[in-house]
Amino acid sequence: MAQPLPRPVPAAPAFDVAGVRRDFPVFTPGLYEPRLAYLDSAASAQKPRAVIDAVSDFYSVSYSNVHRGIHPIAARADAAYEGARATVGRWLGAPRPRDVVFVRGTTEAINLVARSFLRPRLSEGDEVLVTELEHHANVVPWQIVCAEAGARLVAAPIDDRGALLVDELARRIGPRTKMVAVAHVSNALGTVVPVAEVCRLAGERGVPVLVDGAQAVPHGPVDVAALGCDFYAISGHKMFGPTGIGALWARGDHLAAMPPFQGGGGMIRSVAFAGTEYAPPPARFEAGTPHVAGAVGLAAAVEYLEALDAGGAMAAAAAHEEGLLAEATARLAEIPGVHVVGTAPEKLGVLSFVVDGAHPHDVGTVLASEGVAVRAGHHCAQPLMDRLGLAATTRASFAFYNDREDVDALVRGVVRAREIFGR
């Protein structure tokens, strides 16, 4: 049999970052002086014109409540809302749109799973396993149900670079483990967690896994089926969509067996004072009027990303973003007294650092004077900060719309902070 001919590796198409920036009104030249270097996308991402217009158009000409009107405009709103569910499902690789539940965001998605899925099956002495990397949103909801049930929250350790010790996680999955909950990408350090492996390890022991995907989905589509997870939670606002909307994807058999999260209109089949019959998922988990315009805006964000992807630019965008992170990391590390926090071999989008003699908040203020928007603090990950022996870090985070000028401004600002505080 003939050997397959080696195929030339196609060069990544050059990424037109200037063109992409024109899609985002906030980057209009002259709007900010000094020029805005928005390096805070891990906190919340900027919005392309397509998302702003989709929300505005929906409110302007297609707006109605969903699932109950008989007039034609209600049908348009219904179609937009259910269409958005399918679109968001595509970005997650969801085999069926009806397994996508619209929620306010990742936080609500995790609370929903903790309350409706885990709580009924949690008993005294049981354990919930998370990691030291987690955002408070993937800690506190589990703590609340653990406290109610007399169960224990256990954290799998990381190494000093911020990489998850997968073997240590595996050792902690025991007969009392009822749930594993892990971040796909750490919001504070950018560490990419090998979630497929975590899912395999937990799956072998019959333990369900929730993945907090808030920091992963802005960087590319995911495939929940390939990951093998049971639940995947995302926020719209971190992936260039509106605030107040997010999604939970869950395995259909889990959703079908789960009691409602909240009670109200829209989540019932029939109501009598003698008893209420609940609607099937996803409606069962969407009590009250949902954030229809938010869902429409989130779908527009997915479509914007898909259009990038279709042009082959998403791979180029990822490479561009990776290049910026690598360059910024290398240049900051060269500055005496600056220490990069989080050096896991696989990282996405986040550069956390500390500066000798300068508190992260002061660094943030100096950076702001250079037009650089960063986050300073514990990043809603206090257990992680404790593990690293830090009170806080300064965090620069990247999206595909960032460019070399942003990196230059960041480096300039950190050098300035050293001049002011590093004496």
CB of 362 to another protein, least distance (A): 5
Which residue's CB is nearer to another protein, number 97 or number 377?
Answer: 377
Considering the rule CB under 8 A, would residue 35 count as an interface residue with another protein? no
Considering the rule CB under 8 A, would residue 423 count as an interface residue with another protein? yes
CB of 363 to another protein, least distance (A): 9
Kindly list the distances between the CA atom of residue 62 and the CA atoms of 59, 76, 78, 294, 327, in Å, as whole numbers in the listed order.
6, 6, 10, 13, 45
Tokens of residue 135, six digits: 């955002």
The three state secondary structure string of the chain is CCCCCCCCCCCCCCCCHHHHHCCCHHHCCCCCCCCCEECECCCCCCCCHHHHHHHHHHHHHCCCCCCCCCCHHHHHHHHHHHHHHHHHHHHHCCCCHHHEEEECCHHHHHHHHHHHHHHHHCCCCCEEEEECCCCHHHCHHHHHHHHHHCCEEEEECECCCCCECHHHHHHCCCCCEEEEEEECECCCCCEECCHHHHHHHHHHCCCCEEEECCCCHHHCCCCHHHHCCCEEEEECHHHCCCCCCEEEEECHHHHHHCCCCCCCCCCEEEEECCEEEECCCCHHHCCCCCCHHHHHHHHHHHHHHHHHHHCCHHHHHHHHHHHHHHHHHHHHHHCCCEEEECCCCCECCEEEEEECCECHHHHHHHHHHCCEECEEECCCCHHHHHHHCCCCEEEEECCCCCCHHHHHHHHHHHHHHHHHHCC
Q: Are 46 and 38 in contact (CB under 8 A)?
A: yes
Which residue's CB is nearer to another protein, number 63 or number 421?
Answer: 421
Considering the rule CB under 8 A, would residue 376 count as an interface residue with another protein? yes
Considering the rule CB under 8 A, would residue 79 count as an interface residue with another protein? no
Which residue's CB is nearer to another protein, number 307 or number 391?
Answer: 391
In the block, residue with structure tokens 């000094």 = 34
CB of 421 to another protein, least distance (A): 7
CB of 390 to another protein, least distance (A): 9
Instruction: Identify the residue among 366, 373, 407, 414 touching another protein (CB under 8 A).
Output: 366
Which residue's CB is nearer to another protein, number 213 or number 364?
Answer: 364
Considering the rule CB under 8 A, would residue 391 count as an interface residue with another protein? yes
Considering the rule CB under 8 A, would residue 194 count as an interface residue with another protein? no
Considering the rule CB under 8 A, would residue 33 count as an interface residue with another protein? no
Instruction: Identify the residue among 94, 354, 358, 399 touching another protein (CB under 8 A).
Output: 358
CB of 380 to another protein, least distance (A): 10
Which string of x and - marks every residue 238-277 that binds another protein (by CB under 8 A)? ----------------------------------------
d(C-alpha 51, C-alpha 13), whole Å: 25
Instruction: Identify the residue among 365, 387, 412, 415 touching another protein (CB under 8 A).
Output: 365
Considering the rule CB under 8 A, would residue 410 count as an interface residue with another protein? no
Which residue's CB is nearer to another protein, number 247 or number 366?
Answer: 366
Considering the rule CB under 8 A, would residue 354 count as an interface residue with another protein? no
* CA-wise closest residue to 59 among 265, 294, 233, 357: 294
Of 79-87, 281-289, 337-345, 362-370, which segment contacts another protein by CB under 8 A? 362-370
Which residue's CB is nearer to another protein, number 123 or number 369?
Answer: 369
Instruction: List CB contacts of 160: < 8 A, sequence separation 6 or more.
Output: none
Which one-letter amino acid corresponds to residue 189? L
CB of 412 to another protein, least distance (A): 13
Considering the rule CB under 8 A, would residue 377 count as an interface residue with another protein? yes
CB of 360 to another protein, least distance (A): 8
CB of 382 to another protein, least distance (A): 8
d(C-alpha 399, C-alpha 350), whole Å: 9
Instruction: Identify the residue among 256, 369, 404, 405 touching another protein (CB under 8 A).
Output: 369
380 flagged as catalytic: yes
Instruction: Identify the residue among 174, 175, 263, 357 touching another protein (CB under 8 A).
Output: 357
Which residue's CB is nearer to another protein, number 293 or number 396?
Answer: 396
Instruction: Identify the residue among 184, 347, 378, 418 touching another protein (CB under 8 A).
Output: 378
Which residue's CB is nearer to another protein, number 15 or number 38?
Answer: 38
Q: Which residues bind another protein (CB under 8 A)?
A: 357-362, 365-366, 369, 376-378, 385, 391-392, 420-421, 423
Catalytic residues: 380
